[in-house]
Amino acid sequence: MLACRICDGRVEEFCDFGRQPLSDAFLGPDGRDDEYFFRLAVGVCSSCAMVQLVEEVPRTRMFHEDYPYRSSGSTRMRRHFERTAEELLAGELSQGDPFIVEIGCNDGIMLKTISRAGVRHLGVEPSGGVAQLARADGVRVTTEFFQESSALTIRKTDGAADVVYAANTVCHIPYMDSIFRGVDALLGPDGVFVFEDPYLGDVIDRTSFDQIYDEHFYLFSVTSVDAMARRFGFELVNAERLPVHGGEVRYTLARKGRRPVAREVHELLAEEERRGLATLEVLRGFAERARGIRERLVALLRELRAAGKTVAGYGATAKSATVLNYCGIGPDLLPYISDTTPTKQGRLTPGSHIPVRTPDSFADPYPDYALLFAWNHSEEIMAKEQRFRQEGGKWILYVPDVRIV
Ligand code: TMP
């Protein structure tokens, strides 16, 4: 029996994407690096409703000096985190001499605004390369994994925190017991633990199966986070839906009984119950739709190749690893992917070995079709790539289904 990583309940597997590489492990141009593979399958706990991977990848294989992803790669996300920081500064961090800790601060996209406001802060970031970028932006960072021991050290040196914040990080961490003990040690009596991650409800609605990859160990819902908070002595006091990264929820947790529970929490819990969000029937339906998308996407790419059309990928996202490896798409169907991230360019995509090129090469010459892997940034990308459309180029999307626009 597979045991839930949160509550030890029985986990039922509902979806299997097969053998997959690490989504951010880009290879050198000769493709000769050793690659680590694992079985990417997903299950749901029949007791606490937490959706989780059935195999865990050791954390140091994913997050290390050369971790390539930079949170600041999108204008919209820079704005989103600037606004988040401003809201925190005007609210939780507005009294006395406040202190905020961010788990997984990446390149400092959020904390740099906090730092410029002169507010005490600390980023805890295990990936050395991106941590260095944050430091260069004036952010105070410690290069390590957040866990109970690091939280105890921070508490000793910096005192209690008013806010522990994390964006697109908590769902990456299987060992939530140590995280909550750390948050418990670090937060003052009225402090809050705020985190935002992809929302199961949106993943099901959009069939965005590419949100499932090695780093996304959990796929949170309000129901599963509410149960997790209670299990570790906290209470879910607010839940706010966010339109970024294909649909997320920002959860606010407080110590039990310290804050009123917002209406939104009750509403979202009721909605998830009504739609049977964590039921095997709904989840198996999602897996079935993902199989359909795979068939239609591969058929389309084969058709375009047979018709002599050129196709390029746009955005070598972590999400694209699931799509490419699940669908068996390699350089024969997709000769290259363009991406703005310097540490991905000149390398090959994990598992599928498709060359990653600079955005300049996308226009030199434009392909007939561009397969948009960074669909969560589609507004921003389509606005800046208008010339591609004007010159006859077409976008291929696969979320919520395969279509050409
Ligand atoms: P994300 O969806 O996980 O944020 O990853 C987005 C990827 O797409 C990242 O590798 C950067 C890349 N990207 C582009 O190549 N061009 C763009 O305009 C944007 C916004 C992202």
Q: What pTM did the predictor assign?
A: 0.98
**Nearest atom within ligand 1 for CA of residue 339:** 15
Q: Is the peptide bond before 355 cis (omega within 30 degrees of 0)?
A: no
Residue-level pLDDT at 374: 98
* ipTM associated with this complex: 0.99
Residue-level pLDDT at 202: 98
Residue-level pLDDT at 32: 86
Residue-level pLDDT at 195: 99
CA atoms within 13 A on the CB side of 227: 18
Q: Mean pLDDT per 10-residue run, the chain (405 residues)? A: 96 98 97 93 98 98 97 97 98 98 98 98 98 98 98 98 98 98 98 98 98 98 98 98 98 98 98 98 98 98 98 98 98 98 98 98 97 98 97 98 98
Residue-level pLDDT at 1: 86
Ligand 1 midpoint to CA 225 (Å)? 28
Measured by CA distance, the residue closest to atom 18 of ligand 1 is: 381
Please state the separation of Cα 151 from the chain's center in Å: 23
Residue-level pLDDT at 316: 98
Ligand 1 midpoint to CA 317 (Å)? 6
Residue-level pLDDT at 56: 97
What 137-140 contacts at long range (C-beta under 8 Å, 24+ apart), as own/partner pairs, is 137/107, 137/108, 137/112, 138/108, 138/112, 139/105, 139/108, 139/111, 139/112, 139/115, 140/111, 140/115
What are the respective helix, strand and coil percentages of the chain, to the nearest 5? 40, 25, 40
- So what CATH class is 62-281? alpha beta
**Nearest atom within ligand 1 for CA of residue 384:** 18
Measured by CA distance, the residue closest to atom 19 of ligand 1 is: 74
CA distances (Å), origin 405, targets 176, 276, 383: 41, 32, 14
**Which residues have any ligand 1 atom within 6 Å of their CB?**
73-74, 315-318, 339-341, 344, 374, 376-377, 380-381
